[in-house]
Amino acid sequence: MLIRITFLFICICIIIFGLSLLWPVIVKGAPWTPTPRETVRKMLKLANVTQDDTVVDLGSGDGRIIIMAAKEFGAKAIGIEVDPFRIMWSRWNVQRNGMQEKVQVVKGNFFDLDLSGATVVTVFQRIGTNNRLKAKLTSELNPGTRIVSYIHLFEGWSPIKAVEDSKIYLYIV
């Protein structure tokens, strides 16, 4: 009987701990859906990313966009992520790729953080999130900043360029 109670107690603790870590994602975020690496490369090429850029990825997941921006395009890159598991995974990927000098992973909700230092912003969010982001992006980003969205458009904005077969859209502030 004591073993069953102990086992049940441990299971409940694990569930509570897991939910406490996932709560920010459940409440504020979208489920993680990794962007294919070739699509990431197309996104960064469409935005003409160079070593002079600061790429900010909103909801950076495992860090694949920010790592590629730094490693292949020479840019400084910042990933903003709310999920603590993805943050740990991203930071490990950054370290594994030797990109600690050029890449930073920030824990937080991108709606609450200042994006004004970005010259390129990458987005793979739901259409509703994109539409909520419009006011923030236009008020915080400098003219000429490039915004690359994967799959979902920003309603009311016309992309400057698009890779239609890959559903990648480029906007310029």
38 within 8 A of 64, measured Cβ to Cβ: no
Residue 4: inside a domain, yes or no? no
For residue 28, tell me if it sits in a domain. Answer: no
Q: Can you give the CATH number for the domain in which 77 is found?
A: 3.40.50.150
In-domain check, residue 23: no
Q: How many domains is the chain built from? A: 1
How much is the pLDDT for 157?
A: 93
Residue 92 within any structural domain of the chain: yes
Kindly state whether residue 154 falls inside one of the protein's structural domains: yes
Q: How far apart are CA 59 and CA 36, in angstroms?
A: 15
Q: Spell out the residues 6+ positions from residue 134 whose beta carbon is closer than 8 angstroms to its own.
A: 154, 156, 157
Q: What pLDDT was estimated at residue 34?
A: 85
Q: Which domain holds residue 128?
A: 37-172
Q: What does each of the 173 residues of the chain score in pLDDT, given as a tens digit?
A: 767 777 777 767 676 656 555 555 454 556 678 899 999 999 999 999 999 999 999 999 999 999 999 999 999 999 999 988 899 999 999 999 999 999 999 999 999 999 999 999 999 988 888 999 999 999 999 999 999 999 998 999 999 999 988 999 999 99
